[in-house]
Amino acid sequence: MLIRAGYNIRLESDVATPMLAALSIHPSRNKDLRTPHRIVTTPEVPIYDYIDQFGNICSRVTIPSGGLTLACDFTIEDDGQPDPAAPDAIQHAIEDLPDDILVYLLASRYCETDRLAETAWSLFGATQPGWVRVQAIVAFVHDHIEFGYHHARSSRTAWEGYQEQIGVCRDFAHLAITLCRCMNIPARYCTGYLGDIGVPAVDAPMDFSAWFDVYLGGEWYTFDARHNAPRIGRILMARGRDATDAALTTTFGPTSLANFEVHTDEVAGDNLR
């Protein structure tokens, strides 16, 4: 299947303000592109890319006084298959985990394992380790948090999401990641595009989405606590320990968001641009 995706985002500032942006698709999806993927700025300003420690493409740019618009539009090929399932995937003993996986067991900015460890073990200690345990955590978070765009707050942590029981997709992901880590299951945060493909359309402005991966049976598998169902057409942009590592934009000075539009739609092959 072919998916057309992109965005138009405007940030305004009274003074020149440096910014980092994780608004490119992840390098693991580059070979799936069927049209060029370019970030276009208005006004035109220099923009430089580098690869961070998690393998994400990060763009460095300075917002000029007055503001900057970043836009992108591309078409990508997807296999059209739902998120893979492996019900027999085992949970590894910590001593058997590869060295580079251990960081995804640790507490991070939005994932306070120390505050949720007792809760996690009381809820999931009796569940079967591995896939079954992760699915139990996903189902719990899905039912525990009420989704609503009006609940968005960029500072909300997993502990606060657990207490407040409201949030957006990143809050579902942070709480599920934290509960997994408390149960010694490596988990990492992911962000990207997820359109209403293969599901009823939602009558709301499109947004980027957040989900998470867990390390089971020697591989990373995708889970989504907000939807609690396999989905079609995920386009990964960035991943890391939590939203700090995969923030769409990080500004080093006062800015305001003046426009935010995202599109992700399945298209026919003859609509390639």
Query: The tokens 């739609």 sit on which residue?
Result: 265
Question: Percent of the chain beyond pLDDT 70?
Answer: 98
CA 149 – CA 79 distance, rounded (Å): 29
CA distances 164 to 12, 116, 144, Å, are 31, 14, 10
CA 188 – CA 29 distance, rounded (Å): 18
Query: The tokens 């493409």 sit on which residue?
Result: 57
Check whether 217 has a pLDDT greater than 60. yes
pLDDT digits (tens, 9 = 90+) for 7-56: 999 999 999 999 999 999 999 999 999 999 999 999 999 999 999 999 99
CA distances 118 to 92, 112, 114, 179, Å, are 21, 12, 8, 10
pLDDT at res. 236: 98
- pTM score of the predicted model: 0.95
- b (16+ CB within 10 A) / e for 236-266: bbbbbbbbebbbbbebeeebeeeeeebebeb
Instruction: Output the average pLDDT for the chain.
Output: 96
For CA atoms 10, 14, 15, 17, give the dihedral sign: negative
pLDDT digits (tens, 9 = 90+) for 108-156: 999 999 999 999 999 999 999 999 999 999 999 999 999 999 999 999 9
pLDDT digits (tens, 9 = 90+) for 146-180: 999 999 999 999 999 999 999 999 999 999 999 99
CA 68 – CA 11 distance, rounded (Å): 5
Averaged pLDDT, 221-240: 97
Check whether 261 has a pLDDT greater than 70. yes
Nearest-CA neighbor of 170 among 88, 121, 239? 239
Local structure of 128: helix, strand or coil: coil
* Domains identified in the chain and CATH numbers: 2-80+248-271 (2.60.40.2250), 94-231 (3.10.620.30)
What tokens were used for 101? Answer: 């996986």
Q: Are 176 and 212 in contact (CB under 8 A)?
A: yes
